Amino acid sequence: MPLDSNINSVMIVDDHKSVQFIVRTIVSFFGFKEIREFTDGESAYEAHLQRSADLIILDLRMPGLDGLSLLRKIRWECKDKRQRVKAIVLSAVLDRDTVLNARDAGADALIAKPITARTICERVLQVIRDEREFVVTAEYIGPDRRVGSADHLYDGPERRVDGGGEEATTSEDGTEGVTDDDIDAMLAQ
């Protein structure tokens, strides 16, 4: 199912070959011209400098240069189109702090592990269709965090108070997780 998009080159950065294989298999259906795989952040960064990717799908936790450090390095040290690469972060732990840290590092989207074909396809399509401006300020570099509809506009002093929706999940280690709707809302803050 080739897409009519400006994304031709994809980098998959995950220290687990099995995850790389699954992600590659799923994203290959989009008809991208090039899909490269890396097991660590440092080699992915060097490869991105040599031949930039249009989309990076990266694991949050890896030995050495982890996913968020890699994303920050790309956002802050690259000063051309390489800085503006679309980025999807994969993570086995998606609590509020993780989501906010990924957002602040300049992630375009997040996917909770274990990954599914449906979620990867939805997030890749979301990122491809995303028309947000790219923002460069003294404190933040990445996609404009203002997403969604007018529902996200300020609505009084308690606008961040939970208004219902999906219930957060609790992981095996007892920490409270977040739903896909929670992730989207936090990315938009």
Domain assignment present for 83: yes
Give residues with Cβ within 8 angstroms of 161, minimum separation 6: none
CA distances from 52 to 6, 48, 56, 139 (A): 13, 4, 10, 24
Domain-embedded: residue 142: yes
More confident residue, 151 or 115: 115
The pTM is what?
Answer: 0.77
Mean pLDDT check: name the lowest of 47-51, 86-90, 154-158. 154-158
In a domain? residue 136? yes
Task: Write down the pLDDT at residue 163.
Answer: 46
Query: Residue 80: which domain range?
Result: 9-187
Most confident of 57-61, 79-83, 185-189: 57-61
Position 162 pLDDT exceeds 70: no
β-strand pairing of 86-91 with 34-38: unpaired
User: What value does the mean pLDDT take over residues 57-84?
Assistant: 91
User: What confidence score (pLDDT) does residue 99 get?
Assistant: 92
Total domains in the fold of the chain: 1
- Residue 3 domain flag: no
Looking up residue 60, the CATH number of its domain turns out to be: 3.40.50.2300
Domain-located, residue 141: yes
Residue 47, token pair as written in the block: 């490869």
pLDDT of residue 129: 87
The owner of tokens 């993570």 is 91
Residue 169 lies in a domain: yes
Residue 56 pLDDT more than 80? yes
**Does residue 117 sit within a domain?**
yes
